[in-house]
Amino acid sequence: MSSAEKTYRIIGGWTADESSQGFLVPIFKRNGSDGFFLQICKDSLIVEFRRLEVDSDLKIFPVTSTYFVTEGDSQMFCYHLGKMLFLSGSREQMLDFVDGQTDHLADRNPALAVQIENLRTEDSNVTKLRKRILEQYSSMSMDASYAYKNSVAREVGWEKIEKRLASDEELLTKFREHRSDYDFHFGERGELKIRIHSERNTIPTEVLESALIDASISLDSTFDELIDVAGEEIQHGEYVDDFLIHHVFDKAPRQETRLALVLKMAIERPKHAGIILSQYEDDAMYANQMARTLGNFIIRRGLSSQKQVLRAVEDHLPLFFNKSFYKSRGVLLVELAKHLGNFEEVYEFLKWKVGESESKMLIPFFDEIEYHLRTWSERRPN
Amino acid sequence: MKSDTLYTFYGRAAYRVAGDGAIRLEGACPICFVLNSELLKRSNKIHPFDTGAYHRRLYKHVFADEIGMSDFEISDDWGLINTLVSTFYGETENYFFGNTSSIPSASELCTPDEMHVRAYHELITSSGRNEPDDRVMSIEVTFSDPILLAESLRAIIVPHTIWNGSHKTSWLQEIEDDTTEIVPYEFHPGRAPDYYMAHIETQLRDLYAKWGLM
C-alpha cells in the first residue's frame, strides 16, 4: 500500500439520532478506495481504519474543510452545534471548544452535558447532572427512571471495584470479563445493594464490601434523597446481614459451599465474626447448625482478632467434618480447600486429612483438594 | 444467490462489538433489541451455539472435522430450545446468566455413544484459558424473512444520551408504545465495548425479573 493509500480523509460525522448538538462518529474515505471507514482507537491513538459495511445512503453531516489522518495519529473528535461542525485530533482542544457549554446544557440536555463532563474525567459535575437526568426520567416513566438509576448504581459500583483492584492485574482482568455478574442496584428503601452469584465471584469479599460503601458515599451526593448510606449501617451489624449473607451467598447450590463462604467472611471480619455466624440463616440444617455453633462459641469467648477466630475455626473443623453427611464429606473438604486454603490453619488440617484418610468416599476428591491447596501455596509470598 | 439473514441469540445479549478500542460515541455503542419469543415459530435455523465461531474453527478442539454444523441444528422443533435449556441448565435463569456450574456431568446427561451430546457438553463446560467466550453457550436463532419491529419488539436497550427527558431520538419515538419498553443505560464515553455489553446484560436481567421470567 502506497503512502497515499494509507492516508484517510475525514468526510463528515454520523449520529444515531437527529439532535441539533452533540458528538458524531467521524467517517473517513481512503484515496483509491470506495466505501466508508471508521477509526479504531486505543489509548487515544488511531490504530486501524475499518471498512464500514453500510448502505451507500448513509446520512453524513458533511465536513467542509479537508483533514487527513493516518494510523498512529491522535483520535479524531467530531462535534456539531447546529450547522457548525468542529473537528479535532486533541481531547484538550475538544474540551476547550465545549467548555462552558455544560452549564447551558445542564437544563436543556443534561445527558450530553454528562458526556462532556466525563471527557473531563471529573466527578463533581457529573453527580449533579445525573440527578437532573433522573428527575427528567421520573417525569417520563417509572420504568425508564428505574433502569437509569440502576445503571448509574452499576457504573459507580464497577468503577469502585476497578479502583480497588488496580494493583492486581489478574483479578482486574477477571473482574472485567465478568463485570455483569456484579449487579449493583437499589433496594426498596433506596439502599444500594449488590447481587452476585457466589460461584462466580472471583474477587475478595472485602473489596466488594469497601466498593459498596464507597459507591454509596459517591452516589449519596447525587441521589441524596434516595439512599441510606450502607457505610453507616455496618456500625449496627445490619449491613452484614442485608448485603453479604442474603445477597452474596444465597445462590450457592450446595450447603458445603455456603458454609465455607460464611466461614471465610467471618475470618475476614473477625470483629463481626460472632454476629455473622450466629445470625446466618441457611435453609439446610447442617450448614445452619455448624455456623451457629461456631458463632455462639466466638461470642461466648469474646473472640475478636483474626488469629483468635482462625483458632476457633481450626478447633471446629473436626466437628464440621464428623457432623457432615458421610457422602458429602469429600465435597466439604473441596469447598474448604477452595475458599479457605489460603489460611494456614485450614491448609494444615486439609493436608493432614488427605494424608491420613483411606476412606473410599474421600479418595476421589483428593486430586481436587490438592489442586486447590497447591494453587493457594503457589500464591503465598515466600 | 445472496440472501439477507438476521442473526439473534435466544434470551441472551451475547453479541460482541468488534475491536477493543474505546467507544466515545453512542453511534458506535451496542444496542439490544429484545424480541418476542413467539417469533421463534418463524425462525429459519436454530443452533445451540454461535455458528460464526464454528465457521472460524474455534470449536475444533471439541468437534472433529467429520461433525458438521448441521448435526447440531434444532430448527425443526422450536420447543427443543426449552428442552435443551432445562436439560443442561435446570433453571432458565442459569442459561440467562451463563451459569455453567449448574450443568450436570456428561455421564448424568448421556451415554458415551451419544457423541454429539457429549461433544456439546464438553464445548460448553470446558474451562480452559483459550476457550471462546460465552457465545459458545448462547442459542443462535436466525431469520431469513423480514421481521416487523412493530409486531415483535418488546424492549430496546439504548445509551441514555439518545433517550432521556430532554431529548428523545425520533426513530425511538416511532418505536415507543404500550408494548415496547425503551430502557436507557448510562453511557460514559471512552470505555471498551464489553463495558457497554455488561450494562446491557444487567438491564436485560432487570427486564426479565420485571416480566416474571426468572
What ipTM goes with this model?
A: 0.72
Same domain for A121 and A48: no
A125 — contact with chain B (CB < 8 Å)?
no
Interchain proximity B169–A176, CB inside 8 Å: no
| Least confident segment among A170-174, A279-283, B111-115 | A279-283
pLDDT beyond 50 at A246: no
How many CB atoms lie under 10 A from the CB of residue A298?
24
User: Is A110 part of a structural domain of the chain?
Assistant: yes
What's the whole-number mean pLDDT along residues A173-183? 84
Rg of the Cα atoms in chain A: 28
Per residue in B136-159, pLDDT (tens digit) is: 888 999 999 988 888 899 999 999
Cα–Cα dist A21/A83, whole Å: 9
Same domain for A323 and A366: yes
Long-range CB pairs of A209-213, under 8 A, 24+ apart, other chains included: A209/A243, A209/A244, A210/A160, A210/A164, A211/A157, A211/A160, A211/A161, A211/A164, A212/A157, A212/A160, A212/A184, A212/A243
pTM above 0.90, yes or no: no
Same domain for A34 and A22: yes
Asked if A77 and A69 touch (Cβ cutoff 8 Å), the reply is no
Please report, as a single letter, which amino acid is at residue A362.
L
Measured between CB atoms, which of A111, A154, A199 is closest to B202? Answer: A154
Strands B153-159 and B181-185: parallel
Same domain for A371 and A293: yes
Q: Mind telling me how many Å the CA of B83 is from chain A's nearest CA?
A: 22
Long-range CB pairs of A177-182, under 8 A, 24+ apart, other chains included: A177/B194, A178/A202, A179/B194, A179/B195, A179/B198, A180/B197, A180/B198, A180/B199, A180/B201, A180/B202, A181/B97, A182/A154, A182/A157, A182/A158, A182/A208
Cα–Cα dist A241/A221, whole Å: 25
Enumerate the residues of chain A whose CB falls inside 8 A of the CB of residue B198: 154, 158, 179-180
The conformation of residue B61, written as its DSSP 8-state character, comes to T
Same domain for A305 and A212: no
User: Is A95 part of a structural domain of the chain?
Assistant: no
| Domain boundary pick from A207, A225, A251 | A251
- Using alpha carbons, select from A1, A2, B169, A31 the residue that is nearest to residue A11: A31
A238 — contact with chain B (CB < 8 Å)?
no
What is the predicted pLDDT for the residue at A325?
85
Enumerate the residues of chain A whose CB falls inside 8 A of the CB of residue B194: 176-177, 179
| Domain boundary pick from A81, A108, A140 | A140
| Contacts with B, A 11-70, CB within 8 Å | 14-19, 22-25, 38, 40-42, 47-48, 50
What is the predicted pLDDT for the residue at B153?
93
Highest mean pLDDT among A191-195, A262-266, B43-47: B43-47
User: For cell 456450574, what's the residue?
Assistant: B101
User: Is A277 part of a structural domain of the chain?
Assistant: yes
**What are the beta bridge partners of residue B158?**
B184
Same domain for A368 and A257: yes
Q: Residue B203 corresponds to which cell in the numbers above?
A: 438491564
What is the predicted pLDDT for the residue at A356?
84
Enumerate the residues of chain B whose CB falls inside 8 A of the CB of residue A148: 160, 164, 184-186
Per residue in B104-114, pLDDT (tens digit) is: 888 888 888 88
Same domain for A302 and A186: no
Q: How confident is the model at residue B28 (pLDDT cuts 50, 70, 90)?
A: confident
- Using alpha carbons, select from A272, A192, A273, A268 the residue that is nearest to residue A230: A192
Same domain for A324 and A239: no
Same domain for A232 and A116: no
User: Is A180 part of a structural domain of the chain?
Assistant: yes
| DSSP string of B98-124, one letter each residue | T-GGGPPPHHHH--TT-HHHHHHHHHH
The total domain count for chain A is 4
| Domain boundary pick from A209, A234, A251 | A251
Interchain proximity A115–B18, CB inside 8 Å: no
Same domain for A256 and A367: yes
Mean pLDDT across chain A: 75
- Using alpha carbons, select from B77, B79, B73, B75 the residue that is nearest to residue B120: B73
Per residue in B167-212, pLDDT (tens digit) is: 888 888 888 877 888 999 988 777 778 888 889 999 998 888 888 8
Same domain for A307 and A264: yes
pLDDT beyond 90 at A231: no
* Closest chain B residue to A23, measured at CA: B25
| Contacts with B, A 170-189, CB within 8 Å | 176-177, 179-181, 183, 185
Same domain for A234 and A301: no
A135 — contact with chain B (CB < 8 Å)?
yes
Measured between CB atoms, which of B29, B160, B171 is closest to A133? Answer: B160
Domain of A215? 146-251
What is the predicted pLDDT for the residue at A104?
60
What is the predicted pLDDT for the residue at B140?
92
pLDDT beyond 80 at A304: yes
Q: Residue A54 corresponds to which cell in the numbers above?
A: 453500510
What is the predicted pLDDT for the residue at A232?
32
Mean pLDDT across chain B: 83
User: Is A1 part of a structural domain of the chain?
Assistant: no
User: Is A2 part of a structural domain of the chain?
Assistant: no
> Which positions ≥6 away from B111 have C-beta within 8 Å?
none
pLDDT beyond 80 at A346: yes
